[in-house]
Amino acid sequence: MFKEPYKIILRRFRDRPLESGLLVLAVALGIGAFSAGFSLLMNTVSYSRNLMSSPEYKELIFSTRSNSEEMETPVREKLVQETAVLKVSDLEAAKMAPGVQWAFVQNRAHLRLITRDSQISSPPEAMGPPAPPESAEGGTSKNNFFTISDDERAAAEKDESVVIAELDEISGYEVTPQFFNAWGITAADGSLFTDTDLNSTANIIVLGSKLASLIAGEGNNPSILLGKKLLTREGYQTIIGITNPVSSSYDSEYFAPYRDQSGGVSGFRRRFMDTQLRFAVYNPSDLDQTAELLKNWFAAQFGEDQITVSNPRAEAMQLVKRNGGIGILILFLSAAGFFIALVNVSNILISRVLRMKKGVGILMAVGAAKKDIMNLFLLETVLIALLGGAAGTALALPLSNYMREAAGITTASWLFTAVGVVLSGIVTVLFGIIPSRHYMKIDPAEAMRS
């Protein structure tokens, strides 16, 4: 049971529902607003920091003009432009810029698989990207697609060295080896490909860890796939390695060596896509300088304005800055609201002190020391802060959720909301100490007179 002095406080709180309710509501709104604002800013900052530390934002991307631009270009110029095809050998531009750590090609790619029940006799338009209407070589599908007869498939199904997956399509990248270095991807089983593999024509692929498990099937160790040939519409692909998990989408993707020459893996498609060369720097602050050096090199090779550079970091920075600015503004507004709420709470508490004056005198007469009185009313403040904090948290969670979503932050920590609630709870109690200091100043003899 509570001691009698606490009962006085609790019952006073209970017997004035309107005033107590207003106190709690004011604290709840204040704490709710502040902790939501706080968590938004902290989440924004930490999200941006994580985002910016991604290898992606250490890269400069060089590409020929995009297709859409190309279509608007007069035919005569287009001819010129077609000479500007970026090749693996152009990665040597990296030698011109000491800031470059890794240089590589990373092109999106897909592989359409032949499963036990896919229609192999029908043309492949049915799935995946459409086939080229007329390829440059004017070749038939035979040039571009690997086809097998039903009999051959039946034989393949029996062949121990062939893997027939139950997926229609897998996606991944055609990359050059330094891609793996830039992203810190290593082989868990088998090996990754190297520069030598770029010069051969063997169809080899490396599987992401999740993709490997998926293809191997439940309960099977993915390493059984090593050295086996995956049956795809683009031919047999020998699985040479499986990556360690990197907890990103790369875990569910495959990697094939990028080769300039057509005729390799889905070679036809590259002519319709820009080949992008990526240069990752050691230090993001070198990006601008490095971009200049590389641009000069490419301008010397291909002429001015043939190659465009994009700097994902610079673009992302703008977004980060905007979100940060909004976050700071919201935190400022919510802190202002919180402060105003606290001033009001403090005022109501002081008026409570004045009404409780005589009670303080009586408590001291029956044996309370000034410190006891202080602690007693501090308890009242803590009670209000706790109730307000709980209600404020209930407000802050959906609010900060909503604001976060609006700001496009996908990874968020509840911890920031919790820290915001605790912080503002402490500030509330500190504000509550101001009125309880008034209690300390009450002269019991004077209080008894009223």
Partner 1 sequence: MIKLENINKQYDLGTVKVNALKNVSLEIKRGDYAAIMGPSGSGKSTLMHILGILDSASRGKYYLEDYDVTSLPDREQARIRNQHFGFIFQSFNLFPELSAVENVMLPMSYAGVAAKTRREKAVKLLEDVGLSHRLTHLPTMLSGGEQQRVAIARALSNDPDLILADEPTGNLPSDKGEEILEILESLNRRGVTIVMVTHNPEQSKRAGYVIELRDGAVIKESDTLEGKDV
CA distances from 220 to 135, 209, 213, 214, 225 (A): 41, 13, 8, 9, 10
**CB of 444: closest distance to ligand ADP in angstroms?**
11
What percent helix, strand, coil does the chain show, rounded to 5?
A: 60, 15, 25
Choice between 87 and 449, CB closer to ligand ADP = 449
Would you say 233 and 153 are in contact if contact means Cβ atoms under 8 Å apart? no
The residue length of the chain stands at: 450
| Helix spans in 254-311 (H) | 287-302
Stretch that binds partner 1, among 6-14, 39-47, 124-132, 226-234 (CB under 8 A): 6-14
406's contact among partner 1, ligand ADP, none, with CB below 5 to 8 A by partner kind, is: none
What is the smallest separation between the CB atom of 443 and ligand ADP, expressed in angstroms? 7
From 4-12, 300-308, 384-392, 405-413, give the range in contact with partner 1 by CB under 8 A. 4-12
Q: Which of residues 428-447 bind ligand ADP (CB under 6 A)?
A: 446
Closest CB to partner 1 among 271 and 358?
358
CB nearer partner 1, residue 259 or residue 352 = 352
The minimum distance between CB 424 and partner 1, in angstroms, equals 30
Positions in 356-415 near partner 1 (CB under 8 A)? 358-359, 361-372
- Nearer CB in complex with partner 1: 273/448: 448
Query: Does 322 contact partner 1 by CB under 8 A?
Result: no
Query: If contact means CB under 5 to 8 A according to the sort of partner, which of partner 1, ligand ADP, none does residue 76 touch?
Result: none
Q: How many helices (H) and strands (E) does the chain have?
A: 14, 11
Is residue 182 packed enough to be buried (19+ CB in 10 Å), middle (13-18) or exposed (0-12)? buried
DSSP run (H or E) holding 106: strand 100-112
Using CB under 8 A as the binding rule, whether residue 18 contacts partner 1 is answered as no
Q: Under the criterion CB under 6 A, does residue 152 sit at the interface with ligand ADP?
A: no
- CB burial readout 134-143, b (16+ within 10 A) else e: ebeeeeebee
In whole angstroms, how far apart are CA 99 and each of 244, 293, 306, 434? Answer: 28, 10, 23, 58
The CB-of-365 to ligand ADP minimum distance in angstroms stands at: 15
Q: Which residues bind ligand ADP (CB under 6 A)?
A: 446, 449
